[in-house]
Each structure stands twice: as C-alpha cells, then as structure tokens.
C-alpha cells in the first residue's frame, strides 16, 4: 500500500507542488528509498477541513503511516529510515549537524534591511564551515560518495538560498567556496531532486510576504 503524504502547494497555483523545503525533504527521502507514495497538495492559504482534522496546527508535511498521520520532517524521515532501512540514508552521527545553521542564517539575512547587522557574515561563516568540511572529507556528499539524510535536509534549503537571495538581494554563494558550489551542483543534479523541486518562481512567491511584510 502506497504511503500518503501531505505537502505544500505552490503559492497562487494550488495544483502545483510548492516551495516548502521540509516537504521536499520528505519527498526526497521517499524517492531515494524508491517508496511508492500518494501526494496530497495542500493550499496553505485555504486549508481543507479534512486536512485540519489530521493536522490541527495546519502544518505540512504530514505522512500517513499505519493509519496514523505523523507530522514534522525530522520525525517522518526517522520513521521512514526505521521502517524501510534499505537503501540506508543514515548519516554518521559525527556528520549529522554539518550545515545545520545555514537555513536559519539564510532566513535572517534574507529578511534583513540593515547591511551592517552582521547577518551576511553569519551566513558566510556557516557556508565557509561547510566548505571546510567538504574540502577535508571525500565527497561529493557530506558523508562521502553516497547521499544521506543530512544531504536531503540541506538540498532544499540550499535551493531556497540560491533562488531567494539571487532574486531579492542579487546575492550568490562566493566563488571562493568552490566545494560548496560543487556540492550544490551534485545535490541539484540528483534525479530525486529534479523530480521533487518546485519552480524558481514559486520559491520567490513563497518568500514574498516574509521579505516584504
């Protein structure tokens, strides 16, 4: 029986897969594990009643497992790893937190209206730490030659970083970080990523109200 998953629909296009990086992380995990699934697109600005009944907080993603709906991408991906251990996507514990602050520092910088508030440097510091890790370990992925959970968490976030900062701040990852560029290219070339990413225009639309509230 196919798993069921509720994910965000695109802003202004309720029939198109949307821009939620946590939803994409779950879809990437399902794709990499070659698990059949049925996807429900949820219009976040007009949530259907049946969805609010299974996710009272109205959050996506949620996954149906054994007739129960489970929320939170951390919990969902852990359950999928436990229940479907092959192929393994486990990240070695010593690498599990690599890049973990990139998304929060990206969001702060994206929303910043003050160029001297240190938010750009904070993001650059995190990207430089990722560069150092990639430079000193075999790649192309964080834990080596095989993609693992930490990569599937970072891939959608780095996509958002690239698209949103490019659009709203004309900013891009510096060329002085070649390993980060190579890593992003490796992630964005995955078949699973191609299949589960939203169009750039929906990433831009998804951030609009946060950048210009």
Closest CA to 20 of 72, 55, 66, 65: 72
Could you tell me the sign of the dihedral formed by the alpha carbons of 117, 121, 125, 127, in that order?
A: positive
Based on the residue annotation, tell me whether 20 is a catalytic residue of this protein: yes
Are residues 102 and 199 in contact, defined by beta-carbon separation less than 8 angstroms?
no
As beta bridge partners, residue 5 has: 39, 63
The residues near 11 (Cβ < 8 Å, ≥ 6 apart) are 18, 19, 44, 45, 202, 205, 206, 208
Structure tokens at 142: 């964080």
Say which of 11, 20, 134, 158 is annotated catalytic.
Answer: 20
The residues near 18 (Cβ < 8 Å, ≥ 6 apart) are 7, 8, 9, 10, 11, 41, 44, 198, 202, 206
Q: Which residues are catalytic?
A: 20
């Amino acid at each position: 029986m196919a798993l069921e998953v509720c994910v965000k629909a695109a802003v202004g296009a309720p029939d198109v897969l949307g821009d939620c990086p946590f939803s994409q992380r779950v879809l990437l995990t399902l794709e990499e594990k070659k698990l059949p699934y049925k996807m429900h697109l949820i219009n976040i600005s007009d949530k259907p009643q049946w969805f609010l009944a299974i996710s009272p907080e109205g959050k996506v993603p949620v996954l149906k497992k054994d007739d129960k709906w489970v929320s939170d991408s951390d919990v969902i991906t852990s359950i999928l790893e436990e229940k479907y251990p092959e192929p393994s996507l486990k990240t070695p514990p010593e690498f599990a937190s690599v890049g973990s602050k990139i998304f929060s520092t990206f969001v702060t910088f994206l929303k910043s209206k003050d160029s001297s508030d240190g938010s750009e440097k904070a993001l650059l510091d995190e990207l430089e730490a990722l560069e150092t890790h990639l430079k000193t370990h075999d790649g192309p992925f964080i834990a080596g030659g095989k993609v693992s959970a930490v990569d599937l968490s970072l891939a959608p976030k780095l996509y958002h970083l690239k698209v949103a900062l490019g659009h709203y701040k004309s900013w891009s990852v510096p060329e002085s970080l070649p390993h980060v560029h190579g890593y992003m290219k490796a992630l964005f070339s995955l078949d699973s990523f191609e299949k589960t990413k939203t169009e750039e225009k929906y990433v831009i639309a998804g951030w609009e109200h946060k950048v210009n509230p």
